[in-house]
Each structure stands twice: as C-alpha cells, then as structure tokens.
Structure 1
Amino acid sequence: MKTAGIIGGSGFIGSYITKKFLEEGYNVKVSVTDIKKSEKYQHLFNLENSDNLNISALKVEDLEILKDFISDCEIVIHGGTPFQLDVENPKTELFDPTIKGTEIFLEAIQQAPMIENVVFIASVAAYNTNFPLPAGDRKPHDTFSEKDTPFMSEESHPYAQAKFIANQTVENFIRENPKVSFEITSVSPVGVMGKSLSNREDSTSTGLQFLFKNKIAPSPFVQMLYDNDAEMAAVDVADVAEAVFKAATISGLHGKNYLLSSESYPVSDMSLMLNHQAPKNKPNVIYQNTLAMNDLRMKFRPVQETLNNYSK
C-alpha cells in the first residue's frame, strides 16, 4: 500500500483529494497547521477507509518537519498555500507562505528518498492573474489555453500574484533540475465550486458561493465582479480531486500544468443557479480543458450541476 502525503488535505479542495486517495486504497497523511483545532479536520475521519488516515501538524516554512512528513511518501500533493481575498498584510499573509513555502517544499522533496510523483495545486492565476476578468487586452469571451503566454499584472489581487510567482518558481526548478528522480505535475483550477465536506466557516470557495447566492458584496473585489457581471469560469471540487489523483498516478506528465475548467457563466447566472434557477445565458468554455481531457482522461461536470449541489 503506497502512501500519499497531502499538504493542506483538510481544506475545501484538500478534503476531496484526501477522500479520493483513501477510496483508492492509499495510506494518507494529511498536514494541518494547528493540530489543536480538530474542528478543521475531524470530518476526514468520517470518510471511507479513514483507518488509513494520519493527521499531523506542519507548517510548510519548517524544512525539517516537512522533510520528516514526506520521508515515507511515494506521492506528495502540495495544496497548502492560503486562499484568501481579504488581506491586511499581503507579504506575511500571502507572499511569504505561498512563495517561500514553495521554495522550501522544493528543497525538501529533493532529499526525500521514496517520492515518485509530486503534484502542485496551482491556480488559474498561474496563467492569468486578472481572473475572472480577461488577461490584458483580451475580451471576456476570448479563450485561453496552456499554449497562451501567461499574463501577470502587479495591479491584480495579491493572492493571484503570489500563485503566479509560486508557479514560476516550480517551472524554474524543473528547468534547472532536469535529472530529478520523480515527476512533478501541476494543476491550475479556475473558480472551484461545489459542496463542502466539512462545516468549516473559513473556506473562501464556499464563502464566495454564499455571496453569489445571496448577492452580497462585502469587499470592493466582489462588488467589482457584480458591476462587471464577470464571466466566471468554474470547476467542480470533486473534478479537481479526480484530476489531482490522475496527475499523481499517470506517468509521463512531468513538467505539465493543466488548466482545470468546466464552463463559464456571468456572475448573474451563477447567482440564479445557486438558487436552483435556470441561467439566462448559454455557457462558454473560456479556459480550455482539452489537455486535461486528453492526458488525464477528465470529464468535467456541467456548472449547473455543481452549483445545484451547493446547499447553504
């Protein structure tokens, strides 16, 4: 039985990844930042095969603890970077844990004796920091694929900038270390939606769905989405977990970064669907998902199905 280490495995996306690996018969190690806050990970013990689950405390900035955590893992998933839209200090809250955390993680995996596959959960921001608005001078319905030149603006949200730089750090590492003994693959999901496996109140993804459903704008960023009726690309959280599992278990994907996206709708339509009403517009596929469908054999759920599963 192989062991998968999942950094950030109790969060919104991470919980589904943990669930998937447990279902597939893996020993699963999940890291949490504070072991005393059991309410953040207790739901994982309700999953199938949770006897094969181990929870341990870890901060990605601590190299020695990180090395110990991954020392017996054949697969490591790095999804432990913060996702938050309301930020007081971008450097300490986003840039340091995201970028420095990635650098330390890359140092750690070079010294791990058993690793076969590493998967980074990047973000659509690795390709477009303006998401969900178009990149640069593109129009809202212009498509974007892995072949397009990534777009980064210092005017974009700090979270998006941090994820972009972290992804560049991974790409530089792959170029500078052509003979590593394991494969590194990244996935870049668009807006991740769906039902949470926990009752946690601190998930940005589920929080954003709550705001859209109830048409609440607690910040200028969310108000901007309403004002522009932004074309929002979405992907089901369970599909992201499926793609991560396949990226970790299909060989020959080293160095690739897959956009994970289903359809795109205006935010006004997402509000309707979250309230179990029909959208007024037909969906587009702005962020192309062909590479993930071909290499990872993915089939993405329709957004209407995903949003109907959100229950709050």
Structure 2
Amino acid sequence: MTYLSDNDREAPVLVTGATGYVAGQLVRRLLEEGLDVHAAVRDPDDTTRVAALIALSERLPGTLRLFASDLLSPGSYAEAMVGCRVVFHTASPFTLNVKDPERELVQPAVEGTRNVLQEANRHASVERVVLTSSCAALYSDNADVQTAPKGVFDEDVWNETASLSHQAYSLSKTLAEREAWNIAEQQSRWRLVVINPALVLGPAIDEHATSQSMNLITQLCDGTLKIGVPDYGVGIVDVRDVAEAHLAAAFLPKARGRHLVAGHSSSFIELASLLRAHAGPSYPIPTRHLPKWLVWLTGPLADKALTRKIVARNIGHAFRFDNTRSRECLGLEYRPLAETLNDMFDQLVASGRLSK
C-alpha cells in the first residue's frame, strides 16, 4: 500500500536512530517508495552497524544519506534535518536491566525527544513529525486495565502508575511522549502524529541485529525457558506493521493524534506453542506455565527487573486493547501472529543464533 503522492517524494525525510530494530524496517519501506532518506546514526563510519542500511539502499529505488548524531546533544540533528518535510523520531533506549533508570532511560528519552522536536521548530521545511512512542506510555501493568475508562487500553489512556522504581522504561516513554505533545502544542507549523506499538516482534533488516525482542524469542527456543514460562499476557505487533503505521502517519493527509498499534493479545505460552508448531519437536520450547507463586518467590532472584510487584500485577492478567483507531485511521491490516513468529524464528536460525 502506498500513501505518497509525487509531491511527497520531492523532499527528503529524516529517520533518527536509523540503525534500530523498528527504524530499519521503516527505512526499508521509505526506500521502496523511492524517497531520499536522511538516516541519523551515532557513527556513520561504523561499517558493521550501518551495513544493512547501505545494502538496502543499493537494491531499492530510494537514496540513503548517513548523518552523525547524538541523542543528547542539542543541534546534533541540524544538518540531517535540512530540507526534510517529515521527521521520524524513532531513537530511544530500550533496555530492562539498568542500574540508574534516570540516567539510562528517562534522560535520553526525554532530552532526545526535546532535542529533535526543538530542531524541527528551527526548520521551516518540516511539516510533520512522527514519534515512535510505546504502549508503555498507556500503561505499566496489565492490571492497569481495571481502571481504564472503557475497560481496555486505547489512545485515551495515559500511564499514571510508572515510576523510577516500578516500570522505569514505561516512565521514560510516558514522559518523552508528554514532552513531545507539549512542544507540538506550542507551535502551529508542523503536526505531531504518534505511534504507540505493543511488543514488537518479527524479522530485522539485519539477521545479526540484537534487540530485546530477539532475545525473548531466542530464549523461548534455546532451552533457557524450557522448564516453563509465566502466564504473562502481552500485546504483539509485527515490526513490518509498525513500519507501515509510521508511513501512514507521515503521509495520510488526515493522520493526527495517538495510535495504539497492536495486532494481537497473546501470552508467552501462546508464543511458545506457535513456535513449537513451526520449529518442530527438536527445540526445547516450553510447554507449561510456571505457577504464579513460584515466579513471585524466585523470579526476582533470577532477574532483578522482574519484581514481585510486576509479578502480582501482570501474571494471570490478559492484555486487553482496542486497535480500532490504527485500523480505521491508518488503514492497518495486521499480519497473523504465526507469520511474525515463523519469519523471526527462520531468521534466528539463518543467523546462527539458533541451531538448525
């Protein structure tokens, strides 16, 4: 599906954090559409990190230019933004095991968003900014749905329960998105459109890429979790559908506001079941739930990020959501969950991270 007019292809677009998991598939789609993509990366001379982007540009009709940038350095995106009509801000840290959540998560998320959007204020060419936020800006825990006005997570819900000591990543995404809306509302030249994805899975443009999503699927298949998994409900969306959502947010004339981008309400045991159906019996994929009391007792000992509060407010709770807005306003048609997992598994095998 294409959302672009010939006029849309006349100006370059900027993608921050272009070597990221979501950004890679976004760059692929932009290049497929023949756009001039300004890819902001930490180090354009790091041939290993940018190799997959360059490979895309060599086989697709669009053009790619790499620009050095630093999320926490004001003015660092100035050169990359020159002439751009659309800015995609995807750069933000995503890590769970942190020692200093303020410094490692909140500060780069909020200050990075501020730096990019204030730079957009200085460029008359910018007409739209698409921000990659997260479902984490809607909620901290699945149990939060109990206080949601409609009994589901949707775009009207904001995270009110995250803190530095509980779901710090969710706090970073919430504060970063609020900062984006504050900056957007203080001007009238460019429009902010926000994408709030659930847990993103699916193949990366680089089979050797690393991400929390890759780690999860690897651990489900390599024996790390063979004794069982918690009954943990998760929202899932394919990374390629997230890229499509960004394209629609950027170029559909009426796109505006927040968009919860989630295709499926799933769980770790369902992911395991689907993977097992595709991978076959030779992989030590878990087949049962761990009792909640056992996870509550031992989980924090095995993983400091899995606190007892997280166990209490998520295990046994389903992810309930309404994705009507993303389907009706962005025209999204979500891939089957099995397709997402099968493609991801096959890539992990091809890369050697999972044995054949």
Does 2:75 correspond to 1:64?
Answer: yes
Q: Find 2:43's aligned residue among 11, 15, 34.
A: 34
Deviations 1:236-291 (A, max 9, x none): 0000000000100012333x0100001111211112222335999xxx88221110
Q: Find 1:226's aligned residue among 224, 229, 239.
A: 229
State the SS of the aligned residue for 1:166: helix
Partner in structure 2 of residue 220 of structure 1: none
Displacement, 1:20? 0.5
Partner in structure 2 of residue 236 of structure 1: 238
Partner in structure 2 of residue 209 of structure 1: 217
Moved more, 207-216 or 100-109: 207-216
Q: Which of structures 1 and 2 has the bigger CA Rg? A: 2
Displacement, 1:134? 3.0
Displacement, 1:70? 0.8
Does 2:122 correspond to 1:121?
Answer: no
Amino acid at match of 2:180: V
Mapped to 2, the partners of 1:134 and 1:213 lie a distance apart of: 28
Mapped to 1, the partners of 2:252 and 2:265 lie a distance apart of: 28
Amino acid at match of 2:241: D
Mapped to 2, the partners of 1:41 and 1:286 lie a distance apart of: 37
Displacement, 1:97? 0.9
State the SS of the aligned residue for 1:286: coil
Does 2:210 correspond to 1:168?
Answer: no
Partner in structure 1 of residue 325 of structure 2: 291
Within a 5 Å distance, the mapping from 1:1-312 to structure 2 comes to 1-47=10-56, 48-49=59-60, 52-130=63-141, 133-135=142-144, 137=146, 143-154=152-163, 155-175=165-185, 177=186, 179-214=187-222, 216=224, 226-227=229-230, 229-254=231-256, 256-277=257-278, 286-310=320-344, 311=346, 312=348
Q: Is the 1:192–1:235 contact (alpha carbons within 8 Å) kept by the matching residues of 2?
A: yes
- What TM-score do the two structures reach when normalised by structure 1? 0.87
Q: Is the 1:262–1:285 contact (alpha carbons within 8 Å) kept by the matching residues of 2?
A: no
**Distance change >3 Å, CA 103–CA 9, structure 1 → 2:** same
Displacement, 1:56? 1.6
Q: Is the 1:102–1:166 contact (alpha carbons within 8 Å) kept by the matching residues of 2?
A: yes
Amino acid at match of 1:96: Q
Mapped to 2, the partners of 1:275 and 1:261 lie a distance apart of: 23
**Distance change >3 Å, CA 170–CA 257, structure 1 → 2:** same
Mapped to 1, the partners of 2:36 and 2:209 lie a distance apart of: 28
Deviations 1:142-186 (A, max 9, x none): 5221133544322432211101111111122233x1x42111100
Unaligned runs of 5+ in 2: 1-9, 280-286, 289-317, 349-356
Deviations 1:46-79 (A, max 9, x none): 2232661111211122222212221221111000
Mapped to 2, the partners of 1:44 and 1:245 lie a distance apart of: 18
Displacement, 1:116? 1.4
Displacement, 1:213? 3.2
Aligned-residue CA RMSD in angstroms?
Answer: 2.5
Mapped to 1, the partners of 2:137 and 2:81 lie a distance apart of: 25
Partner in structure 1 of residue 300 of structure 2: none
Amino acid at match of 1:252: K
